[in-house]
Chain A
């Protein structure tokens, strides 16, 4: 039985069919084929959120995981995100939490906050 998926790699949102041999059809680009395979074997997401920050401009600093994390660990990562704090000055790419929730990826700032 082939499994139907919506590709989330780009805004186009192709409808993918992945068969039991992990052959992907319906994709418009190689990234879609890679996503289809990955989504069946080990679904992963990039998580974006905010952490508390002492900046006068914004009370929170936007962050993201530097790579994808397993989909079923997203809520664990969120718990760690909610305990984290960014200290000004913050620069894009600054590591806020290393190896967040044991996922092997870092939590990094996605904007500058320099008061």
Chain B
């Protein structure tokens, strides 16, 4: 069996960034395995602009952003294989994959898993009614439109106000479809404020907060949907039904880390539905790293890339046999916090800081984000407004830690 130093699964932004940074650390024997026909992953269909303000200090479209990384991969002549689908990875890092060239098994010395995320389906939320043609996830409709040139419908309703749904509301409007509205179960949108403005308000598309789809009508082909207002327990309120005659219902109801390969390998799962990692992005399996949307779903590709770089550097260190310290402490998502990444941080080295990424569970105003160990508050930061749709990144100076045993807890605390 062929042995390769570093196998990277997924040639999207996280995978390419990991490959480039591992190469720049001196690793030469690298292979990127990409399932689709082209490098770049989801950015191939994200033709809108707004990418790259952190990474490149300029505003780029998705394709422009991804090509910057394709260039870097090609300049370094890092090998990649397209149409290569990984079927499984054994716990000792034997990667089985198929491609048009055949089926293969390779022994990886280190692995970076950067397989992105997938869209939540109608079944996952138990959506009532029929399942006619015309009910489709927003990302799938985006792929059809932006890579294949097919507009999936002319009269559209969108369930879920995540960014993909908002972006598709604008995109389909520009292509001549009539978008009748966007319904959001929560009393707030999960999309970026600027997308509410430039994708909905610019085109007078109504946003129905605290509403959900309560019926899907149509035999064979979608004919209409019905939405209802929901109460504070998110239950539909009788008598508030509104009917919309549409041929398309787009679902933008959440993204889930595509973590199946790591799951089957036996990597411990975290609260994000991705794997648990330490601050080097190593999973509970030594030499196996996870980054990007397969670890936790990001709002900005710039942060995905930053994570990819960390994973690449960590994989290079592992391959060079560099020891990590053994003193590790856990992180805990306290009250008001949905999750914290990483799950463990290395505190052997007292220099520098610990980077904590987290999301709050619900929007809050005038609150403190508190970082504590046991009963001791290490630091608290006032937030005038904090929302679940924006990932928070905080660098906690390691010198504040009071010991190297007790976990670091992140909590939301009301202002007195």
Cα A74 to Cα B202 with chains together (Å)? 11
Query: B222 to chain A: closest CB distance in Å?
Result: 25
Cα A70 to Cα B299 with chains together (Å)? 28
Q: Which residues of A contact B197 (CB under 8 A)?
A: 5-6, 8, 13
Cβ-defined contact, B63 with A110, below 8 A? yes
Q: Which residues of B contact A15 (CB under 8 A)?
A: 193
Cα A5 to Cα B37 with chains together (Å)? 41
The size of the chain B interface, using a CB distance under 8 A, is 31
Query: A11 to chain B: closest CB distance in Å?
Result: 5
Q: Residue A21 at the B interface, CB < 8 A?
A: no
Cβ-defined contact, B63 with A46, below 8 A? no
Cα A23 to Cα B174 with chains together (Å)? 32
Task: Identify which of A5, A47, A50 gathers the most chain B CB atoms within 10 Å of its CB.
Answer: A50
Q: Which residues of A contact B62 (CB under 8 A)?
A: 62
Q: Which residues of B contact A74 (CB under 8 A)?
A: 174
Query: A105 to chain B: closest CB distance in Å?
Result: 14
Q: Which residues of A contact B48 (CB under 8 A)?
A: 48
Q: Which of the candidate stretches B22-30, B145-153, B266-274, B366-374 sits at the interface with the other chain? A: B145-153
Chain A contacts with B in 30-79, Cβ cutoff 8 A: 45-50, 52, 57-60, 62, 64, 71, 74-75, 78
Q: Residue A98 at the B interface, CB < 8 A?
A: no
Q: Which residues of B contact A57 (CB under 8 A)?
A: 37-38
Instruction: State which size class the interface on A falls in.
Output: 20 to 34
| A92 touching B149 in the complex, CB below 8 Å, given contacts A6-B196, A8-B197 | no
Q: Residue B49 at the A interface, CB < 8 A?
A: yes
Cβ-defined contact, A10 with B64, below 8 A? no
- Which B-chain residue is minimally distant from A81 (CB atoms)? B174
Q: Residue B402 at the A interface, CB < 8 A?
A: no
Q: Residue A112 at the B interface, CB < 8 A?
A: yes
Q: Which residues of A contact B393 (CB under 8 A)?
A: none
Interface residues of A (CB under 8 A from B): 5-13, 15, 45-50, 52, 57-60, 62, 64, 71, 74-75, 78, 92, 110-112
Interface residues of B (CB under 8 A from A): 37-38, 44, 47-50, 53, 59, 61-64, 67, 145-149, 174-175, 192-194, 196-198, 201-202, 299-300
Q: Can you offer 27 A-B residue contacts whose CB atoms are under 8 A? A: A6-B194, A6-B197, A8-B194, A9-B194, A10-B53, A11-B50, A11-B299, A11-B300, A13-B193, A13-B197, A47-B174, A50-B47, A50-B146, A50-B149, A58-B147, A58-B148, A59-B147, A60-B149, A62-B61, A64-B47, A64-B49, A75-B174, A110-B47, A110-B61, A110-B63, A111-B63, A111-B64
